[in-house]
Amino acid sequence: MIIDNNREYLNFYDDVLGFRRTRDEITCTSTFDKPSNRMIFNLQEHESYATTDFDDPRSSTDDPQQMHSGQLKIIRFSDKTQLDNNISYANPGSLGYSLYTLRVNSIQMSHEKFETAM
């Protein structure tokens, strides 16, 4: 979860990590008006969030047999939104906040790529 209005942060997942966007916030913005949003995220009136999903670029977009599990979901809130810090609940295999593992061929090349992007 990201609390910031800057969409540029999402480019890291496309451009640096090489993920493919499968759903972008342009088509998936939710507001306080939906009761489930208020309940799940404790949204206050006039608050909203946007969802962007990323997937492994090798995963199929139309063949369920060739789709990979484990999409990365980024939920962005306005910088004025107050959320509890629940990062301590992030454990391998947990629902909700969780860790994401990326397999790379060369850790050194990946490290250099990440450093260059920063």
Closest-CA residue to 77 (of 45, 50, 96): 50
DSSP 105: S
Question: Domains of the chain: which residue ranges?
Answer: 2-117
pTM higher than the cut 0.85? no
- The DSSP annotation for 32-54 comes to TTSHHHHHHH-PPTT-EEEEEEE
User: Contact at 8 Å (CB) between 2 and 63?
Assistant: no
Q: For 27-64, what is each residue's pLDDT tens digit?
A: 556 677 778 777 777 777 777 788 888 888 888 877 87
Q: For 85-107, what is each residue's pLDDT tens digit?
A: 777 777 777 766 667 777 888 99
CB within 8 Å of 111: residues ≥ 6 apart: none
Q: For 2-12, what is each residue's pLDDT tens digit?
A: 767 777 888 88
